[in-house]
Amino acid sequence: MRPLSLLFLLFFALAFTSCQTSTDTTETSDLPNDILENDDAFEKLFEYINSHYPDLDKNKIELMEFHYSANVGSQDDFSSSMSLTFVKGDDKDAIVEYDIDNDGSLSNSGVDITVGGPINGKISNTYETYQPYLFSPKVINLEVVRKAIKESTVKFKEATNVKKAYCSNFTIENKGNEKPTLQLRIKRRKFAATMSRSYKWTLEGDFIK
């Protein structure tokens, strides 16, 4: 069987996930609407993971994906969330996803990994299946991410001649035995806008395309 790219893998993961989702909500949230403005949400997410896996070293977590998404509402209200998908602390043959929203909500769920094509794809929850896609959280530098978003936003505005834009999502992932990269999408800041473009960066802050 041929492993698919992580994006494709996670598409099928959503279709086949059968584990229950657990949600914890804080009474108040001091997080900004755009939780990427500072490192607080990132740190709170790791604290949440650590509360479930106290013996799992932050720097030794085996990540499969770091994802961020944002949305602009009809009143120009802004909301955002981020998630970490990683090898479960007490079971190498399991993948879990932990999420945090700007309102302080925390949740986690199990993820099933599928290999193969759209027709013959099948679940393969084994460490050796997804090991080539894993990477260390030590390669993530949020300052580099913010810089890439800022410069991509400038590129988008220049190319499209729009005045307001924002990062609607980004993903850091390893396509398989490669260095993980940052792929992001810049979108026009307007409710229900569809104009957007994608950009790709190295995690050292170098523009790829």
59-102: pLDDT as tens digits: 889 999 999 999 998 888 899 999 999 999 888 999 999 999 99
161 contact partners, CB below 8 Å, separation of at least 6: none
Token representation of residue 81:
């969330």
Q: How many other CB atoms are found less than 10 A from the CB of residue 148?
A: 23
3-state helix, strand, coil in the chain (%, to 5): 25, 35, 40
Mean pLDDT, rounded, for 139-146: 96
User: Distance between CA atoms of 101 and 113, rounded to whole angstroms?
Assistant: 24
192 or 147: which leads in pLDDT: 147
Q: Is the pLDDT of residue 159 over 50?
A: yes
Q: How confident is the model at residue 111 (pLDDT cuts 50, 70, 90)?
A: very high
* Strand arrangement of the beta sheet that strand 165-173 belongs to: 22-25, 105-111, 95-101, 78-87, 63-72, 165-173, 181-188, 196-202
The pLDDT, as a whole number, for residue 97 is: 97
Quick one: pLDDT band at residue 2, thresholds 50, 70, 90?
very low
CB atoms < 10 A from the CB of 157, how many?
15
Query: Which residue has tokens 């994006």?
Result: 7
At 21, the pLDDT band (50, 70, 90 cuts) reads low
CA distance 185 to 3: 25
Q: What is the overall mean pLDDT for the chain? A: 86
Residue with more model confidence, 24 or 114 = 114
23 confidence band (pLDDT: 50, 70, 90): low
CA distances for 134 relative to 116, 138, 177, 181, angstroms? 18, 12, 8, 12
Between residues 24 and 173, the one the model is more confident about: 173
Structure tokens that stand for 25 in this block: 């909500």
